Each structure stands twice: as C-alpha cells, then as structure tokens.
Amino acid sequence: MFTKILIACDGSNGAFAALEKATALALLAGAELYVITVYRHHSILEASLSMVRGDLKTENLDDTMRTVSREAAESAKAYARDKGVEKVHAFIKGGQSARTIVAFAKEKGCDLIVVGSRGLGSEEGYMLGSVSHKVTSIAPMPVLVT
C-alpha cells in the first residue's frame, strides 16, 4: 500500500520513535525508505553576529549543522538497514523544516511521510508539534505522526 516512505529525522528521541514506526511499516509494506534530516541555514545569523561580535568564530556554523545532520541521517539509515529494510536512502537538506520535508517527498514521489511529534499527548502538543502540524497541513500525501 505504501511504496516509498519518507522519514524526517533530526536525531531526537521523538524522531527515533518515528523511525521505528517508519522502519516497521517499510518492512511490512515492502517499501523503500527515504531518510531526510533538515537543518536551518545560519548564514544570516552569522552575518549579523560578525558585525557586532567579530571575535566569535561562527563561519563554520553551517558546516557544523551539516555534519550533525549527516550523522543523524546516516545513523537512521544504518538502523533501518540493520532491521532489514533493503532500500534505504539518506539525505540532508538546508531550509525551513516542514516545507523542505514536503517538497522532498513530492520530488521523490513518496506516498507517506512519517514525522515525530513531541509525544506529549496533551494540550502542550499544540505549541510544540508545530513542524508535524505544518507537514500534515501542506502535504498532499498521507502523514503518520508518531
């Protein structure tokens, strides 16, 4: 029923719960798994900082974000492979989280997006689960919020 599943992963505990479900679903449905880790560009922040605090070393902030994101994505890929998912692809992208996730899902023809919420199971989720809310709002395909 699902052929290409996209799991959005940031290395957090909430994202790991989502990864577990996405992996189990991929195995059950015989689907390919796409892992995406999205990071925010910090170039503008860097530019502002350099004007007021030229002494701070911020030039590598984007590089650091990319490295951390790459690790999160590769670690998720390794987990899914280890569980037996045959086709797993890991990607990192810079940009606004929800829009980047949905654009990537469309680009790859994914028929399901899996995202973690903060898993609070309470009213607080309203404030905290903004990425998962936005993904469910703008995605044309089904979204599993774990």
Binding site for a second copy (CB under 8 A): 1, 21, 24-25, 28-29, 117, 119, 121-123, 125-126, 129, 132-133, 136-140, 142-146
Residue among 64 and 126 whose Cβ is closer to a second copy = 126
Nearest approach, Cβ of residue 111 and a second copy (Å) = 10
Nearest approach, Cβ of residue 144 and a second copy (Å) = 5
DSSP string, 8-28: E--SSHHHHHHHHHHHHHHHH
Residue among 71 and 124 whose Cβ is closer to a second copy = 124
CA dihedral of residues 87, 93, 96, 102 (deg, nearest 10): -30
Residue among 49 and 141 whose Cβ is closer to a second copy = 141
Q: Which residues lie below 8 Å from residue 92, measured CB to CB, with a gap of 6+?
A: 36, 37, 38, 39, 66, 69, 70, 73
Nearest approach, Cβ of residue 53 and a second copy (Å) = 37
Residue among 78 and 142 whose Cβ is closer to a second copy = 142
Note whether 26 and 33 are within 8 A (CB): yes
Residue at 60: amino acid letter: N
Residue among 90 and 145 whose Cβ is closer to a second copy = 145
Q: Are strands 88-94 and 112-115 parallel, antiparallel or unpaired?
A: unpaired
CA atoms of 49 and 10, how far apart (whole Å) = 25
Q: What are phi and psi of 33, to 5 degrees?
A: -120, 125
Nearest approach, Cβ of residue 142 and a second copy (Å) = 4
Nearest approach, Cβ of residue 93 and a second copy (Å) = 20
